[in-house]
Amino acid sequence: MTESNTESALLEVRDLKVHFPVHEGVLIQRQVGSVKAVDGVSFTLQRGETFGLVGESGCGKSTTALAVLKMVNVSGGQIIFEGQDIATLNESAMHPLRKRMQMVYQDPFGSLNPRMKVGDIIGEPLVVHGVSRRSSEYKQRVRQLIDQVGLLPDMAGRYPHEFSGGQRQRIGIARALALNPALLICDEPVSALDVSIQAQVVNLLMDLQRDLNLTVLFIAHDLSVVRHISDRIGVMYLGKIVEIAPRDELFDHPRHPYTRALLDAVPVPNPIIEAGRAQQLIRGEVPSVRNPPAGCHFQPRCPLADSRCREQRPVLTSHGLASVACHNV
């Protein structure tokens, strides 16, 4: 049910693969393998919804986002954005579409050019897409954006180093909104911020999402943030999506053993319950993406693994409201 309604879908990712070749040799280089950062990921973003993508570091969340933006080479699969497959488009064909999808970055310090004034940073997408910096349209839009993200008008003339992390992230959001994008990709936009500031920025994103009817792909590893902002959530593990479900369904009835382990790892802010609850902690390390395990990727660490898991790779199948990739659900 979650993956069907194609008419209202803004973005549909089908069997996306991003493989980075690994070369060896000094003079004559030969490919000795590949890092399968994203290996067969499929999901759909309906217009106006917020889709959360969670998973631990290195599982391919950010690479998925970069692939949707065509910032890395796509090795296979389709990325259907507004009805058009962009996976095979070249850069000049992508140029007009770049207006329609914008990104908010994780690092509020590195993502703003230290030698540009805030007003110029926010207006940069307009300049890139042909709006003159001297036009009244430009000036008006920059003023409007500064106001929209809760900054003060006189901040336009300052440099990024004069701002705090939360303010910088607001600048980054204003820049992403400048071209009125349909899709906003947020790659861990609050994980570099203090918890008190995180809430402000997340609430700003939610307000903007509602007011501007944005479709948001929200990447994070902080489950509470994702729960707060997302309509639906996809859980990634080692380059694959293991479970997609509506937010409440995922948190109330996690089906995949990895999802359950993730949720169990979140501490409960009550020492009595915390001490008494049964926790399913996963052992071991994430296997290498250069040499993933046979069968189910999660099988070496899974408490439910059996012989079928070691041989056969599970695919996403519908279970009620959720889609789960597990033999034992």
Partner 1 sequence: MTVATSLLPAPAQHGPWVAFTLRLIREKPLGAIGGALFVLFFFCGLFADVISPYGMNETNLLERLQAPSFSHWFGTDHLGRDVLSRVLVGAQLSMLVGFLAAGLATLVSIVLGVASGYFGGKVDMLIQRFVDAWMIFPDLLLLIAVISVVGAGIPQIVIVLGLLYGIAGSRIVRGSVIGVKENMHTHAARSMGARTMHILIRHILPNIMPVVIVLFTTRVGATILTEAGLSFLGLGIPPPAPTWGGMLSGTGRTYMYLGPWLALAPGLCLTIVVYAINVYGDALRDLLDPRMRGSR
Residues that bind partner 1 (CB under 8 A): 69, 71, 94-95, 98-99, 102-103, 105-107, 110-116, 124-125, 127-129, 150-152, 162-164, 166-167, 172, 175, 179, 200
Nearest residue (CB) to partner 1, 151 versus 302: 151
Nearest residue (CB) to partner 1, 149 versus 282: 149
User: Are 33 and 290 contacting, i.e. CB atoms less than 8 angstroms apart?
Assistant: yes
Least distance to partner 1, CB of residue 113, Å: 4
Least distance to partner 1, CB of residue 101, Å: 8
Classify residue 177 by its DSSP letter: H
Nearest residue (CB) to partner 1, 165 versus 246: 165
Torsion of CA 323, 238, 67, 109, to 10 degrees: 120
Least distance to partner 1, CB of residue 107, Å: 6
Sequence-distant (≥ 6) Cβ neighbours of residue 215 within 8 angstroms: 10, 11, 45, 46, 47, 48, 49, 50, 51, 182, 183, 184
Sign of the dihedral through C-alpha 243, 244, 245, 248: positive
- Our CA angle for 212, 15, 8, nearest 5°, is 30
User: Are 20 and 34 contacting, i.e. CB atoms less than 8 angstroms apart?
Assistant: yes
Nearest residue (CB) to partner 1, 82 versus 231: 82
Nearest residue (CB) to partner 1, 65 versus 233: 65
Q: Is 193 exposed, middle or buried (0-12, 13-18, 19+ CB in 10 A)?
A: buried
Least distance to partner 1, CB of residue 20, Å: 15
Nearest residue (CB) to partner 1, 114 versus 271: 114
- Measured in whole angstroms, the distance separating CA 246 from the mean position of its chain's CA atoms is 16
Least distance to partner 1, CB of residue 197, Å: 9
Nearest residue (CB) to partner 1, 47 versus 117: 117
Least distance to partner 1, CB of residue 13, Å: 17
Least distance to partner 1, CB of residue 234, Å: 22
Q: Count Cα neighbours of 190 within 13 Å in the Cβ-side half-sphere.
A: 23
The neighbouring-strand residues paired with 179 are none
Please give the Cα distance from 280 to 258 (Å, whole number). 9
